[in-house]
Amino acid sequence: MFLQFLQLWMMLCFATVSCAARQDPFAMRLSCGARQNVQTRPTNTHWREDFGYTGGIVSNATRPSYITPPLNTLRYFPLSEGPQNCYIIDKVPKGHYSIRIFFGLVRQSRGTLIEPLFDISIEGTQIYSLKSGWTHQADQVFAEALVFLTDDSVSICFHSTGHGDPAILSIEILQIDDKAYYFAPPWSQGLILRTIKRLSCGFGQSKFDVDYAGDPWGGDRFWQRIKTFGEDSESGQPRSVETRIKHASHPPNFYPETLYQSALVSTNNQPDLTYTLEVDPNRNYSVWLHFAEIDYSAGQRIFDIEINGDLAFKHVDIVELSGDVYTALVLNTTVAVNGRSLTIKLKPREGNLAIINAIEIFEVIMAESKTISEEVSALQALKKALRLPPRFGWNGDPCVPPQHPWSGVDCQLNKSRGSWIIDGLGLDNQGLKGFLPDDISRLLNLQILNLSRNNIHGAIPSSLGTINSLQVLDLSYNFFNGSIPESLGQLSSLQRLNLNSNLLSDRVPATLGGRLLYRASFNFTDNAGLCGIPGLPTCGSHLSAGGKIGIGLGASFTIFLLTTCSVCWWKRRKNILRSQQIAGRAAPYAKARTHFSRDIQMTRHHNNFGKTSTAAENGPILLS
Ligand SMILES: *[C@@H]1O[C@H](CO)[C@@H](O)[C@H](O)[C@H]1NC(C)=O
Ligand SMILES: *[C@@H]1O[C@H](CO)[C@@H](O)[C@H](O)[C@H]1NC(C)=O
Ligand SMILES: *[C@@H]1O[C@H](CO)[C@@H](O)[C@H](O)[C@H]1NC(C)=O
Ligand SMILES: *[C@@H]1O[C@H](CO)[C@@H](O)[C@H](O)[C@H]1NC(C)=O
Ligand SMILES: *[C@@H]1O[C@H](CO)[C@@H](O)[C@H](O)[C@H]1NC(C)=O
Ligand SMILES: *[C@@H]1O[C@H](CO)[C@@H](O)[C@H](O)[C@H]1NC(C)=O
Ligand SMILES: *[C@@H]1O[C@H](CO)[C@@H](O)[C@H](O)[C@H]1NC(C)=O
């Protein structure tokens, strides 16, 4: 009895677990510029408003292609908003995602539509540069990439390239299987696949997975219909069936069954099937080929598959490989392409014909390393404190994509760490008005900091002294006030320190003064009251005016005394020498001596009277 109960309980558990595993994938769709959530026909797709994710300007949507989602608004980013603008979307669970962005056109003041060209990056990796003429090709009105998200958030950035304002219609973040589009190593979380082409061969319409009633885990791919590979009907005949296809909607890729119900079949006149695509050179491409034997009347078929002339698959027999007719077969391979075209050729063996149902081509992109997060947050604090205007576009990651670093920020890749570090900051001559916060010291790898010729006020943060790598510190021509922090003396790598033309006061720290002896160069001139090193006034102290005068007088007197003493001493030495040489005889020049010097001598003589025997002995000779 108890055993039976346990058995039942275990079965229930198992059912629950398998149900949980089949839950819906995470999906988030943003309608850019929308002020409320939107539902679109015919699939009742749910789009969220995009409030609070980014800046930019909202405008009425333009629909460059029939496949563009039927949304009413778009968001665009004029250069005044900065060269890069990002959507930072939080609360996206870790996982593998298909991210798709539809572009829009911006209407100019005169009503003409501009086709903007810009770059897109996801998580700091540049995935795409729009190509001129994209509006005229249905499947180029969006960019799509398969990306691993590892930190519960995703950043998607648009980088201006000086060809119009980036304009975005929608962003879709659709979870797919962790192993989706897995190929052999080096496939890993560090790779991004950018969709270049998805062709569904044969009869029918271009469609999204959702139109095919595809599994949501497939990522709602867009399949462009292609009826023939060439201009003439000789390059393939379309076929289609309604027969059920086995093994279609399977993990990890969940291809819709319909994909395999149509195909392109070669003809006896031209048994080869050849598809050519123009691509960017010197990249790696992942090619996925889909087959199902839906035209068995032609008899057995065996063919080779060449990609750019290299044999990729030999002796392909669809029925043998898939196990049956009307059964899906997916072959994938990755190729390096040096030239500008990628050609897939199906070459049947003698007397056979070739068949193909669908083709997918991806660009394989290595995901970029990111910038150390501590340094990113330091720059964000700096952006706020220095009140950087939006035109700086300090959004996303400061160093990546390397094609579009933040303006004024110099970066370096630390290969052993696998992350980018910030080694230079040049915000000179930018009209900045804020203050320099302590957070600056979190830029631990900074070598050069130039904030010259701004209107920065307040104190020089003493934390600057902890940036050991600092070689150049230029804060000249600002309104820094207060004293120079002692800590700057600890900067052992410092070669250049410009603090001239500020409102600094007080003593230059002795540690810095000492450095003047070394080769470092300094400029402290033109400040409110710096003192204490050669070239600057001597330092007073924090006393009342009377006290200062007193001290000043005291100092003058001391100097006077010191001078007097040294002159006396010098004179006396000379006289001793002379008296030893020309004993008793007055030298002609000795007569020309001023009364002043005589007075000094007398004074001194008087002071020392009876104390110093040498003075007593020599004095009369001098005075005669
Ligand atoms: C957007 O379209 C609506 C009508 O659909 C119109 O009233 C509005 O002025 C348009 N806005 C802009 C910025 O063109
Ligand atoms: C892609 O092909 C490799 C063999 O080259 C295979 O190991 C892998 O399972 C294939 N991926 C999928 C998802 O079928
Ligand atoms: C292409 O892949 C090979 C082998 O994985 C790799 O060594 C090479 O760097 C890749 N090329 C590009 C441009 O990514
Ligand atoms: C890279 O990072 C490692 C570990 O943090 C550090 O030891 C090394 O000095 C760094 N290299 C450079 C060139 O900054
Ligand atoms: C800092 O920038 C200014 C230009 O604004 C330049 O004249 C100066 O030489 C730079 N300082 C250093 C140390 O390079
Ligand atoms: C420096 O200037 C700020 C205003 O910018 C002022 O509040 C502060 O008291 C000044 N500090 C010194 C030491 O003069
Ligand atoms: C030092 O600063 C002053 C005033 O800001 C400037 O006139 C002078 O040329 C600077 N000297 C050097 C050596 O750069």
What's the pLDDT tens digit per position in 515-547? 655 678 889 999 998 988 877 888 875 544 444
341 and 408 assigned to the same domain: no
578 domain-assigned: no
76 domain-assigned: yes
Which residue has a Cα nearest atom 12 of ligand 3? Answer: 283
Q: Give the type of residue at 431.
A: G
Which tokens go with 43? Answer: 């699939």
Q: Can you give the residue range of the structural domain that contains 80?
A: 24-176
> Is 579 in contact with 617 (CB distance < 8 Å)?
no
Per-residue pLDDT band at 563 (split at 50, 70, 90): low
458 domain-assigned: yes
**Cβ–Cβ contacts within 10 Å for residue 183, how many?**
16
Q: Which residues lie closer than 8 Å to 545 by C-beta, 6 or more apart?
A: none
Residue where one domain finishes, among candidates 367, 399, 414 = 367
203 and 349 assigned to the same domain: yes
What span, in angstroms and rounded, lies between the C-alpha atoms of 301 and 356?
Answer: 12
pLDDT at position 69: 93
* HSE-CB of 494 using CA atoms within 13 angstroms: 27
Please state the separation of Cα 197 from the chain's center in Å: 28
Residue whose structure tokens are 């804060």? 475
181 domain-assigned: no
460 and 439 assigned to the same domain: yes
Residue where one domain finishes, among candidates 345, 367, 389 = 367
Say if residue 144's pLDDT is above 60: yes
Q: Which residues lie closer than 8 Å to 230 by C-beta, 6 or more apart?
A: 236, 274
Highest mean pLDDT among 256-265, 488-497, 539-548: 256-265
Looking at the CA of 178, which ligand is closest? 2
pLDDT at position 581: 55
Residue where one domain finishes, among candidates 143, 176, 209 = 176
Q: Is 119 exposed, middle or buried (0-12, 13-18, 19+ CB in 10 A)?
A: buried
11 domain-assigned: no
Residues with CB under 6 A from ligand 3: 186, 282-284, 336, 366
242 and 302 assigned to the same domain: yes
> Across residues 221-250, what is the average pLDDT?
88
> Across residues 476-493, what is the average pLDDT?
94
Q: Which residues lie closer than 8 Å to 55 by C-beta, 6 or more apart?
A: 77, 81, 82, 85, 390
321 and 464 assigned to the same domain: no
What span, in angstroms and rounded, lies between the C-alpha atoms of 26 and 28?
Answer: 7
Calculated CA dihedral for residues 218, 223, 228, 230, nearest 10 degrees: -110
100 and 211 assigned to the same domain: no
* Position in ligand 3 atom list of the atom nearest CA 366: 14
213 and 140 assigned to the same domain: no
C-alpha distances (whole Å) from 347 to each of 228, 265, 304, 340, 355 are: 16, 12, 5, 22, 10
611 domain-assigned: no
Give the domain CATH number at 496.
3.80.10.10
Q: Is 336 exposed, middle or buried (0-12, 13-18, 19+ CB in 10 A)?
A: exposed
Q: Is the peptide bond before 64 cis (omega within 30 degrees of 0)?
A: no
237 domain-assigned: yes
Say if residue 476's pLDDT is above 90: yes
Please state the separation of Cα 522 from the chain's center in Å: 33
Angle between helices 613-623 and 595-607 (to 10 degrees): 150
Which residue has a Cα nearest atom 5 of ligand 3? Answer: 186
28 and 168 assigned to the same domain: yes
In degrees rounded to 5, what are phi and psi of residue 426? Answer: -120, 90
416 Cα to the center of ligand 4, angstroms: 7
* Position in ligand 1 atom list of the atom nearest CA 60: 1
323 and 388 assigned to the same domain: no
pLDDT at position 485: 95
Give the domain CATH number at 66.
2.60.120
> Is 428 in contact with 452 (CB distance < 8 Å)?
yes
Which residue has a Cα nearest atom 1 of ligand 2? Answer: 183
419 lines ligand 4 (CB under 6 A): no
Per-residue pLDDT band at 241 (split at 50, 70, 90): very high
Give the domain CATH number at 302.
2.60.120.430
65 and 200 assigned to the same domain: no
Report the domain count for the chain.
Answer: 3
247 and 315 assigned to the same domain: yes
Which residue has a Cα nearest atom 14 of ligand 6? Answer: 482
Full-model pTM: 0.82
344 and 229 assigned to the same domain: yes
205 Cα to the center of ligand 3, angstroms: 36
Q: Which residues lie closer than 8 Å to 112 by C-beta, 6 or more apart?
A: none
Pairing of β 521-523 and β 496-498: parallel
538 domain-assigned: no
In degrees rounded to 5, what are phi and psi of residue 196? Answer: -105, -45
523 lines ligand 7 (CB under 6 A): yes
Angle between helices 545-581 and 595-607 (to 10 degrees): 100
| pLDDT averaged over every residue in the chain | 85
> Across residues 539-561, what is the average pLDDT?
53
Handedness of CA 439, 440, 441, 445 (dihedral sign): positive
pLDDT at position 106: 86
Label residues 78-98 b or e (16+ Cβ within 10 Å = b): eeebbbbbbbebeebeebbbb
